[in-house]
Amino acid sequence: MTTAARRSDPPELLAAARAGDRAAVARLLSLLERGGEPARVVGRLTHSLGGAATTVGLTGAPGAGKSTLTSAVIAEVRRHDQPVAVLAVDPSSPFTGGAILGDRVRMGDHVLDPGVFIRSMATRGHLGGLSLATPEAVRLLDAVGIPWVLIETVGVGQVEVEIAGEADTTVVVVNPGWGDAVQANKAGLMEIADLFVINKADRDGAEQTRRDLEQMLELSAPTGWRPPILMTVGTTGEGVGDLWGAVRAHRDWLGESGELERRRAARITAELHRILAARLLEQARRLGRGEGFERLRDDVVARRLDPWAAVDALLGSSPA
Amino acid sequence: MTTAARRSDPPELLAAARAGDRAAVARLLSLLERGGEPARVVGRLTHSLGGAATTVGLTGAPGAGKSTLTSAVIAEVRRHDQPVAVLAVDPSSPFTGGAILGDRVRMGDHVLDPGVFIRSMATRGHLGGLSLATPEAVRLLDAVGIPWVLIETVGVGQVEVEIAGEADTTVVVVNPGWGDAVQANKAGLMEIADLFVINKADRDGAEQTRRDLEQMLELSAPTGWRPPILMTVGTTGEGVGDLWGAVRAHRDWLGESGELERRRAARITAELHRILAARLLEQARRLGRGEGFERLRDDVVARRLDPWAAVDALLGSSPA
């Protein structure tokens, strides 16, 4: 660890991170996770520096083998001699630990490779949590020159699907078994999938699952891109080269079709809406207590003021 | 219907309503349901006029016989020669109809009595809906001189419990049967109950249900008031005199103990918080679209501006 990494000054940390200091990257990510003004400073420094990185979301039900597959994908990216980062996101867990910690251990193959950066993202209980911190983390990793950012989400809840679905390319991982395809559809995964991966494809039922998925894709509205279905065995790396080829093909299509621009604008729109909601919620909490609030409430209780006029007075007294 | 009632000018309508014109009361309640500026005008007119009415919330699972019981309570209040209003609130139904309409028919006994005012409240799809409109409706009924306002909620969802729980006196209606007491506890009804009514008390299991409730009350933290448990048969009116006596006793206790003031202040606090949240959510929706938003979003997409600065600009450009 260098001197810069021990400091907490964001510009210095960022300079060190851009020079290859991984501890500085980790420090900056911690600032982003914690939120508040230090996170804002990091955001202001990084937003203009990137634009070259591609984000790949990996999502699917727990137990689908996403971490093993992610580890195999890392190996494949490294074979192409490119740096890669993984953000492992678990909105259901307020702190790093449990499944995520286990995942980090399983990805331990790459721990000594300076071209690989793996990080579990945890909410620190602040407003908006991971949905707000994840795009900022991506901009940081982009700003320090990492061309591929994999975003692995642990579950298939609304937030997980939202986070994975906001990547440039979203990979939905299922397993052989008749129920998977149906489950994928239910969870809204069909709508966000750019690629399907049937992982653990050496098990019984892989072909049937492929047919189920094909059938569901037939029913969905045609767009310029038809999600390919890949077969992998994460533990052996089988099929992972093809998977990565499909990710790169999708990335090329995004650029050529103009879809990349459209997606990034939609993503920024969603991010701005989330920040706006968080800011106004914060404002509501701040305005809804304290002496100024209590004075106005007493006026309403005493019928000197009607409730809407009281709220007008609250909002007027404090610019947004 | 008088001339005044056909007009839509709130001050004229209110004057007519205070002179006893029930159609004018109905028109004013419709304005409150619809929300927006006309509702604000009504609110500004009524907030200073009341203060004498007592609100009684009646809640419990669907099928507990609340409407029949309410009808019997109305008859009891009328025996004391006092005017009474009923607001039947069903947050799950966007428009008047279904169960609520059925309830109105069952309360038809009182339809020709000028001392009884019965109204189903429906959301008109506007923000905050019934939680915002109900206290305004109560203030209106108070302002036109009705001393008792019964608020009957149809279900035991969060909004129903919230609305019923914000009355001066909250009556929780259960039926004989082992599950009711447990259900009451689960739904958070134990916390809001000032009185328990075991309705349909002529059925098997009424005594057991009373013992279950007593046991649960033993476990709850002692306050200055221990909720009595009443037994009624709504269809015959049996026990309803005692129930109304208990409501009046609770009302007396509220006044003597200072609890009435505390509750009304807490209720106003909750109402102000809801209005504040609705106003800010409205603001978020307005700010999150349109040309100004799109221009800032494009600046963020082009990395000329970071997302938080863009939201600062949005909030700064539009006073709350």
In whole angstroms, give the CA distance from residue A136 to residue A117.
16
Q: How many residues does chain B have?
A: 320
| CB contacts < 8 A (A, B) | 127
In whole angstroms, give the CA distance from residue A273 to residue A266.
11
pLDDT category, A173, cuts 50, 70, 90? very high
Q: What is the pLDDT of residue A123?
A: 59
In whole angstroms, give the CA distance from residue A145 to residue A49.
9
| Nearest-CA distance A18 → chain B (Å) | 18
For residue B196, the Cα-to-chain-centroid distance in whole angstroms is: 18
What's at B126, amino acid-wise? H
Instruction: Find the helix packing angle between A10-18 and A129-143, rounded to 10°.
Output: 50
pLDDT (tens digit, 9 = 90+) per residue, B280-293?
Answer: 888 888 999 999 99
More confident call, A318 vs B270: B270
Scanning A199-257, the segments in alpha helix (DSSP H) are: 206-219, 240-257
More confident call, A32 vs B123: A32
Q: What is the mean pLDDT of residues B29-54?
A: 90
Q: Which of B271, B311, B316 sits opposite A275 (nearest CB)?
A: B311
Q: What is the pLDDT of residue B164?
A: 78
Percent of chain B with pLDDT over 70: 84
Helix (H, G, I), strand (E, B) or coil at A58: strand
Q: Is the pLDDT of residue B227 over 90?
A: yes
With contact defined as beta carbons under 8 Å apart, do B138 and B106 qualify?
Answer: no
With contact defined as beta carbons under 8 Å apart, do A34 and A23 qualify?
Answer: no
pLDDT (tens digit, 9 = 90+) per residue, A1-26?
Answer: 445 445 669 999 999 999 999 999 99
Percent of chain A with pLDDT over 70: 84
Q: What is the mean pLDDT of residues A210-233?
A: 89
- Concatenating the DSSP letter of every residue in A5-54 gives HH---HHHHHHHHHTT-HHHHHHHHHHHHH-HHHHHHHHHHHTTT----E
Report the run of H or E that residue B89 belongs to, with start and end: strand B84-89
Q: What is the mean pLDDT of residues A271-291?
A: 90
Contact call for A275 and B44, based on CB within 8 A? no
For residue B299, count other CB atoms closer than 10 A to its CB: 17
Per CB-CB distance under 8 Å, the chain A contacts of B306 are 43-44, 47-48
Residue of chain B whose alpha carbon sits nearest to that of A302: B48
In whole angstroms, give the CA distance from residue B138 to residue B50.
9
Q: Is the pLDDT of residue B200 over 80?
A: yes
Question: Among the ranges A120-124, A305-309, B59-63, which has the highest mean pLDDT value?
Answer: A305-309
pLDDT category, A221, cuts 50, 70, 90? confident
| Residue in the block written with tokens 């349909």 | B200
Residue of chain B whose alpha carbon sits nearest to that of A35: B308
Q: What is the pLDDT of residue B184?
A: 62
Per CB-CB distance under 8 Å, the chain A contacts of B315 are 276, 279-280, 320
Report the run of H or E that residue B86 belongs to, with start and end: strand B84-89
The residues near B269 (Cβ < 8 Å, ≥ 6 apart) are A297
Whole-number mean pLDDT of chain B?
85
Domains along chain B with CATH numbers: 1-44 (no CATH), 50-257 (3.40.50.300), 273-317 (no CATH)
| Nearest-CA distance A318 → chain B (Å) | 8
pLDDT (tens digit, 9 = 90+) per residue, B244-266?
Answer: 999 999 999 999 999 999 999 99
Contact call for B297 and A48, based on CB within 8 A? no
Q: Which of B281, B297, B315 sits opposite A279 (nearest CB)?
A: B315
Q: Is the pLDDT of residue A97 over 50?
A: no
End-to-end C-alpha distance for chain B, whole angstroms: 42
Q: What is the pLDDT of residue B98?
A: 39
Report the run of H or E that residue A89 belongs to, with start and end: strand A84-89
Q: What is the pLDDT of residue A191?
A: 83
- Concatenating the DSSP letter of every residue in A155-192 gives S-SHHHHHHHHTSSEEEEEE-SSHHHHHHHHHTTHHHH
More confident call, B25 vs B160: B25
For residue B167, count other CB atoms closer than 10 A to its CB: 24
End-to-end C-alpha distance for chain A, whole angstroms: 42
Helix (H, G, I), strand (E, B) or coil at B56: strand
Q: What is the pLDDT of residue A49?
A: 92
Residue of A99, A25, A24 lying closest to A61 (CA atoms): A99
| Nearest-CA distance A23 → chain B (Å) | 24
Per CB-CB distance under 8 Å, the chain A contacts of B320 are 283, 315-316, 318-320
The whole-model pTM stands at 0.74
Q: Which of A279, A309, A314 sits opposite B311 (nearest CB)?
A: A279
Its ipTM equals: 0.83
Q: Is the pLDDT of residue A57 over 80?
A: yes
- Concatenating the DSSP letter of every residue in B130-179 gives HHHHHHHHHHHHHHTT-SEEEEEESS-SHHHHHHHHTSSEEEEEE-SSHH
Q: What is the pLDDT of residue B180?
A: 59
pLDDT (tens digit, 9 = 90+) per residue, B72-119?
Answer: 999 999 999 999 999 988 765 544 433 444 445 456 677 778 899 998
Question: Token pair of A110, please?
Answer: 């790459």
In whole angstroms, give the CA distance from residue A167 to residue A20.
25
Interface test with B, best of A37, A47, A287 (most B CBs within 10 A): A47
pLDDT (tens digit, 9 = 90+) per residue, B127-171?
Answer: 456 788 899 999 999 999 999 999 998 776 777 778 877 899 999
Q: From edge to edge, which strands make up the β-sheet containing A148-153?
A: A116-121, A84-89, A148-153, A54-59, A169-174, A195-198, A229-231
Whole-number mean pLDDT of chain A?
85
Instruction: Find the helix packing angle between B129-143 and B158-165, rounded to 10°.
Output: 20
Q: What is the pLDDT of residue B100?
A: 45
Per CB-CB distance under 8 Å, the chain A contacts of B261 are 301
More confident call, A243 vs B124: A243
With contact defined as beta carbons under 8 Å apart, do B99 and B107 qualify?
Answer: no
Contact call for A315 and B276, based on CB within 8 A? yes
Per CB-CB distance under 8 Å, the chain B contacts of A283 are 280, 320
Q: Which of A48, A265, A314 sits opposite B297 (nearest CB)?
A: A265
Question: Token pair of A82, please?
Answer: 């490119």
Q: Which of B271, B280, B315 sits opposite A284 (nearest CB)?
A: B280
Residue of B24, B21, B30, B19 lying closest to B6 (CA atoms): B24
Q: Is the pLDDT of residue A94 over 60?
A: no
pLDDT (tens digit, 9 = 90+) per residue, B175-194?
Answer: 998 565 666 666 678 888 99
Contact call for A303 and B48, based on CB within 8 A? yes
Q: What is the pLDDT of residue A220?
A: 79
